[in-house]
Amino acid sequence: MPDSDRTVRGLVPVVDVDEDRPESERKLTPGIALCLSGGGYRAMLYHLGGIIRLNELGKLGDIDRVSSVSGGSITAGKLGLAWSQLQFDNHGVATNLEQIVIDPIRTLAEHTIDKKSIIGGLLRPRRTIGQDIAKAYDRHLYDGKTLRDLPDDDHGPRFVINATNVQTGKLFRFSRPYQGDYTVGLWLDPKTRLADAVAASSAFPPVLSPHTFKPSGDFDLDSKGINVNEAFRTRLWLSDGGVYDNLGLETAWKRYRTILVSDGGGMLGTETSPKRNWVQHGMRIAAIVDGQVRTLRKRQLIGGYESNLRDGAYWGIRSDVPDYHLSDPIDFPVPNRERAQGVKTRLAELGADTQRDLINWGYVIADTALRRWVFTDAPAPEGLPVH
């Protein structure tokens, strides 16, 4: 692993106790899980670079689970919806990935949807900000499709879209077979719109959170957890999945041997003159707490790799290529990398050059990590995917 990440050894990422998950989620298997972090449009586009590289290597079709939060869920939702239409050639490469996944996501990135939704939510009290965000996602990417339109386990990876249950403080996961919070219980065969699941997963506080709606599917009484109050099963109060787990590790770590993590999360900046008013000061303190939790998960993930608890690789938007000690990495200009890293965590319009830099930087650092730690015999790519 990169030298800069060699800080915590022999530990595992923070996860709930085994009793909080079904038996099927406790057994470790040899499969591959891809985790996509939060980070708004920045992460949404950055993750595309890693997905493109995995596809070129013929490994995209080998993934068993895609676990996502926040901005990563925007990308995961579109990939899952398009999965049945991907045309894999004899080398395992999806030849139409760009047309049915990459291009639509880039089109969404041309539109600002957070500011309009916030203003609309304030002016129309009967329509929430979350509803407006979901409407925008649906219009640009998901077209009314539901969790039932994701691939089943026999025809592709299981896509798990993660949110945070504000009522219980636990993870709430959406997938094709079920949705739920294990401390409340599971709803089987849910009919939740994909746009609502992604809107909940990306409802970053304080302005976009919470996204509230009624649960769908058949509640499984056998799965009922410790939180039995009917209020937990009447209406869902959900916030950004990154509040609980910004790397999307929770639903992958205890299930799969190989964990690939694409991290497009931001970095907490300094403030020479912190605000004194309770609103802005509270937001700053919350950001500090969030940053520490994310750093802990990352460090413990690297420790898990180093202690051979798991195989895999981590590539972050703020990683450095030289730290991986790959003999033949792709060259990427520093100004372009810095432009990608400097994008704010928003659902706001990004120009073509910034989009290109985010995708290409995600591609470069993913290639570096994957060829150094996982697919060590893979040849170097011929060039960058977006020109």
Q: Tell me: the pLDDT tens digits for 144-187?
A: 999 999 999 999 999 999 999 999 999 999 999 999 999 999 99
pTM, two decimal places: 0.91
99-156: pLDDT as tens digits: 999 999 999 999 999 877 666 665 666 668 889 999 999 999 999 999 999 999 999 9
Residue 11 has pLDDT above 50, yes or no: no
Q: Give residue 10's pLDDT.
A: 39
Average pLDDT, the chain: 90
Q: Give residue 120's pLDDT.
A: 61
Chain-centre distance of CA 350, in angstroms?
A: 19
Give first-to-last CA distance, the chain, whole Å: 30
Q: What confidence category does residue 1 fall into, taking pLDDT thresholds of 50, 70 and 90?
A: very low
Q: Give residue 220's pLDDT.
A: 97
Give the C-alpha separation, 73 to 67, whole Å: 8
Average pLDDT over residues 214-229: 96
Q: Give residue 15's pLDDT.
A: 52
Average pLDDT over residues 217-241: 96
Q: Residue 36: name the closest of 226, 261, 319 by CA.
A: 261
Residue 29 has pLDDT above 50, yes or no: yes
